[in-house]
Amino acid sequence: MPTPEPAIAVTLRFSPADLRRCRFAVSPAFETLSAVRVTTGQQPPDHHRPWLDSVRPRLDGPDGLDLRPLTLLQPRRGYTPDFLSPPPTGPQARFEDELTRIAATPPGQVHAEIARSLRETPGASGTATGRLLLGDPEQVLPMLTGLIRTAWTTLVEPVWPRVRALLDADVAFQTRRLAEGGLDRLFAELHPMLRWQDNVLTRVRGDDDHRDLDGEGLVLMPSAFKWQEVVVIVDPPWQPTVVYPVRGLGTLWPSRPSASKDGTPDGSPDGTAALARLIGRTRAALLTGLDTPASTQLLAHRYALAPGTVSEHLTVLRDAGFVVGERHRHEIRYRRTELGTAAANARRAPSR
């Protein structure tokens, strides 16, 4: 039999000192960079569709924001320069303080990280934007910091109180878990993509990398706009950092109507409310939020529910023919059926 290929994963090995040096932080700069990815389609909007619809007028048209330099440095698959959003040094980072740190990045590091990022996107270095980014780093860095500031004030700052409240709630919840059960309890339930065994934290899927923490500890950072995956920062000089999707993301924005292929609404807030009256608010939220298949654990994290509660609701939805479960490697992922999609997208019947 052929030898199976080793699983690709990122691993972080803890020493006894690291077990005492884990801390939580929130980063407005990281949220800003991740929000830019959502606006450009590098990351599907899914639950952020209401927010994206609200900022779209500021992005489109001849006077819209030109964020191409930031977009090119954030490939869907590949390296994004760490200096654009360095791990926060404290739990309550302010955007202006983070921008000051970004602006102080040494020119040599700016050029090296940009060059590495562009190498991982075929043809990127030869584009006009790529050539601009490979220019004098002492001119490129102010240009990038200016774009990050503009993206912050235009896209994220208006909704920051709402986003920050969700991030703070996650930190409070995870801190209680840590106090109640230590790292074993925290890492066992932090996110479905993370595994904890024998003092090694593993992020399944993605890159293949390893780092011994050697007493540096670990920054744990919830993110609202980086909702699709867990990000692990292992490259020096940054403190090792794990960025994970915030708990309760499905509750961040008001319920949204779905859209048809031509972009016109297929539903309405009234339709969503009617569905909630029919099958219950939680089941309606789970059903309308299943734009992509998801496991019970992931849905529990996304909606800040107990896994057992999600399982009970999914069983009802499955028995009603609204969803179906399909095995994907080691887990069952649920997706909407045609009937479930019709219910999630249903218009309110016009009055007569």
Place of tokens 């028995």: 319
279-329 pLDDT per residue, tens: 888 888 888 878 778 888 888 888 888 888 888 888 888 888 888 888 876
Looking at residue 43, what is its pLDDT?
65
**CA–CA gap between residue 352 and residue 339 (Å, rounded):** 26
**CA–CA gap between residue 163 and residue 159 (Å, rounded):** 6
- Return the bridge partners of 221, or none: 243
**CA–CA gap between residue 221 and residue 247 (Å, rounded):** 11
pTM for the model: 0.79
For residue 312, which amino acid is it? Answer: E
CATH of 255-345, one of 3.30.465.10, 1.10.230.10, 1.10.10.10, 3.90.550.10: 1.10.10.10
Q: Bin 61: left if φ > 0, else alpha if -120 < ψ < 50, else beta.
A: left
Enumerate the CATH 1.10.10.10 domain ranges in the chain, comma separated.
255-345
Q: Is the dihedral of CA 35, 40, 42, 46 positive or negative?
A: positive
More confident residue, 124 or 257: 124
Looking at residue 77, what is its pLDDT?
79
- Return the bridge partners of 223, or none: 245
Cis amide linkage into residue 237, ω under 30° from 0: yes
Looking at residue 271, what is its pLDDT?
56
148-201 pLDDT per residue, tens: 999 999 999 999 999 999 999 999 999 998 988 888 989 988 988 899 999 999
37-55 pLDDT per residue, tens: 999 876 667 788 889 999 9
The confidence band for 137, taking pLDDT boundaries of 50, 70 and 90, is very high
Residue 109 has pLDDT above 90, yes or no: yes
Structure-token pair, residue 206: 């993605």
Mean pLDDT throughout 205-228?
88
Looking at residue 6, what is its pLDDT?
42
